[in-house]
Structure 1
Amino acid sequence: MTEQEIIASIALTQIPGVGSVGARNLINAVGSAEKIFSHHAELTQIVPGITPRMMEMLSSPQALLRAEAEFSFAQKNKINCITINDEAYPSRLRECPDAPVALFFKGNTDMNALRVINMVGTRNATDYGQRICRDFLADLKALCPDVLVVSGLAYGIDIHAHRGALNNGLSTIGVLAHGLDRIYPSVHRKTAIDMLENGGLLTEFLSETNPDRQNFVKRNRIVAGMSDATIVVESAVKGGALITADIAQSYHRDCFAFPGRVADEFSIGCNNLIKDNKAALILSAEDFVKAMCWDADSKAVPVAVQRQLFVDLTEEEQIVVDILQENGDSQINSLVVEADMPVNKMNTILFELEMKGVVRVLAGGMYQLL
């Protein structure tokens, strides 16, 4: 991704009234964020309904200047600026209609890990909730050692999820409701620094952005969107964890909850999720792994398929098979780049290969050669 495209993508987030959905629609209509600014005078012909006020904002240098300053800040502080079309962008999040067009990441983990979960809950975690985080992640490490754990670095369940992941050698990402020029709450700075060594910090917000109330809801959609499943550990009758669960459902992602005693204040939310069939009840990591159909038995040996017996592969199908054979499990974006094919053609080829029993789809949109 070019520096100009990154800066233009950041600038697009600074145009009032555009929003994540509008920004993505503009990029899809014009072809790139850079073209939106360089060809803004032609937008009325390309994008029906674009307002004069938006045209005025796009023609102003203000947003681009702010974006250039943010890009310089990111480079100075070794922060990765990731646009929505980058291969490093969380592919699960990209599937969501309101995904941010630009993200800022500092860390060392792959956000497109094979298995990604988020653990969320009340800021007033009880001993019961803390024990669930600790035991669940220890058991999950034994069953699925490659899981990436996402949460919001907040008080309570969030921070215990991050610490439980670190204690068990699992990568963990904290999604922030502010820029990467600060850590909120500041008492979690030590954990945040530790996460940079095995995970990282992620945000859509520019530096100098305060952790205002509305930003936490925006943060929650990233937590839900970049994960295969949401796990609610403890929640009162209202709270951010329930918002994350609702968002996960709207994205058609799996949602789970640990039950609690009916009289416990911080179990009411979880019990209601289960009662209303908005979340599946789990009691252990084993329950979760079975529900997700994640084959965690590393000793299981898949039945080998003699690919040389497939004589009906087309030339393009063979190209994809060769790439998978050389690179191993791959996401569609990687295959598109390697094969130099349009994404719609790659979708068709992968579907045909799946029907022929040559590949299978894994969690996270990964394709595996059989």
Structure 2
Amino acid sequence: MHSDCWYNIALTFIPSIGPITRKALLTEFELSKNIFNASKKDLLAVKGIGEKMVNEILQWNNPSLVDAEYAFIQKHQITPLFITDESYPKKLLECPDAPTLLYYKGTANLNTTKILSIVGTRMPTPYGHYIIENCLQTLPKDVLIVSGLALGIDTIAHQTALLNGFNTVGVLAHGLDEIYPPPNKLLAKKMLKQGGLLTEFNCKTIAEKYNFPKRNRVVAGLADATLVVETALKGGSIITADFALQYHREVIAVPGKITDQRSRGCLKLIQENKAAIYTNPNELLQQLNWVNSIPVLSPEKKALIQLMKQQEIFSMDELLQLTGLGIGSLSGLLLQLELQQIIQVLPGESFTLMPAFYST
């Protein structure tokens, strides 16, 4: 007698049946086991199920594939997440083509409240690197960072998330028995302890070209929003953004030089009103309604904030002169405001008020 998990895996091995059809079958029969034990008449009664599909279900006889996958996930302590499981990512459930079965290994909660996908070119510029570093130094640490573990922007997003104390999940276009690209094997190992790896592909599945769009839809569907950092007019990042739009998720694109090929995709998304413009992390928080309530401020902090509204950037000397405070008192106030994400410290010991607080 096979377990429910065994039948769940088996359902994904029937070639002509995709996630939408599997969902229809599960709606009718509830359990994968019931699908395999159903009669031809009952199967044909399901809307969208043709005779070819029914015959594939009835004639399917390749249990060794399922046995191998079942043994693999048990040996490597991989968690199977079936679409009817309570632990299946809730945001993905909202997508009509959500994967029927996901394989997950990691520590992050895939149902956490705030999830941001970061995607972009495999050949980023220092500008793209700076955008991600600046963003992840400001976002609250309870945001889960998702990307595709590819070289370039994906790698920078995962690495920067780890360095700044975020959980980060990589969505793969292959099975969990390998890591692609190979240079990211060490990064993936670190992510297992501070995030995780997620895939809909069984072991022995290699990173073939047609798997990447499937991977991209999970990157988009798993998150509240997709941040596109740098991308050309075509490529995986644009595909991910298109999926996010189909799923009614926020798409936010980083503007760049009009002469830079790696910014043209972002600029086109903005130009066509498919994406909001990314300007800074605090604006991103406002766009996603992730802004905490305005903190209670002391009179000294309120006075300093009012002063800093008068111009964009202040040096320490300017603030000392304008406030009349001692260096110790001013430094303490500035540190507190920085920790509250009300001001930002810039290179050269200068300070600027975050845009969200110009109206407070």
Q: TM-score, normalised by structure 2?
A: 0.79
Indicate conservation of the 8 Å contact 1:71/1:81, yes or no.
no
**Aligned position for 2:159:** 163
Q: Note the alpha carbon deviations across 1:208-267, whole angstroms, 9 max, x for none.
A: 001001100000000000100000000011111011001000000011011001101100
Q: Secondary structure at the match of 1:273?
A: helix
Q: Secondary structure at the match of 1:27?
A: helix
**Aligned position for 2:103:** 104
What is the root-mean-square deviation in Å for CA atoms of aligned residues?
1.9
**Aligned position for 2:245:** 249
Paired residue for 2:288, among 280, 288, 292?
292
Q: Note the alpha carbon deviations across 1:113-166, whole angstroms, 9 max, x for none.
A: 1100100000111111111111111111xxx22000000000110010000110
Distance 2:10 2:131 in 1: 42
Q: Gapped runs of 5+ residues in structure 1?
A: 301-370
- Decide which structure has greater helix share: 1
Residue identity (%): 43
Indicate conservation of the 8 Å contact 1:220/1:243, yes or no.
yes
Aligned AA (1:273): L
Aligned AA (1:67): V
Residues 169, 297 of structure 1: alpha-carbon distance in 2 compared, 3 angstrom cutoff: farther
Indicate conservation of the 8 Å contact 1:137/1:164, yes or no.
yes
Distance 2:245 2:290 in 1: 20
Say which is worse superposed, 2-11 or 34-43, in terms of deviation.
Answer: 2-11
Matched, 1:154 2:153: no
Matched, 1:274 2:270: yes
Distance 1:70 1:78 in 2: 12
How far residue 46 of structure 1 moved from its aligned partner, in angstroms, is 3.7
Aligned AA (1:6): C
Indicate conservation of the 8 Å contact 1:81/1:103, yes or no.
yes
* Aligned positions, number: 297
Q: Larger radius of gyration, structure 1 or 2?
A: 2
Q: Gapped runs of 5+ residues in structure 2?
A: 297-360
**Aligned position for 1:191:** 187
**Aligned position for 2:312:** none
Residues 124, 46 of structure 1: alpha-carbon distance in 2 compared, 3 angstrom cutoff: same
Deviation >6 Å, runs of 4+: none
Aligned AA (1:257): A
Aligned AA (1:172): T
Say which is worse superposed, 28-37 or 2-11, in terms of deviation.
Answer: 2-11
Matches within 5 A, 1:6-21: 6-21=5-20
Q: Note the alpha carbon deviations across 1:35-54, whole angstroms, 9 max, x for none.
A: 10122445335425533332
Distance 2:6 2:41 in 1: 20
Indicate conservation of the 8 Å contact 1:79/1:106, yes or no.
yes
Distance 2:226 2:65 in 1: 35
Q: Secondary structure at the match of 2:157?
A: helix
Q: TM-score, normalised by structure 1?
A: 0.77
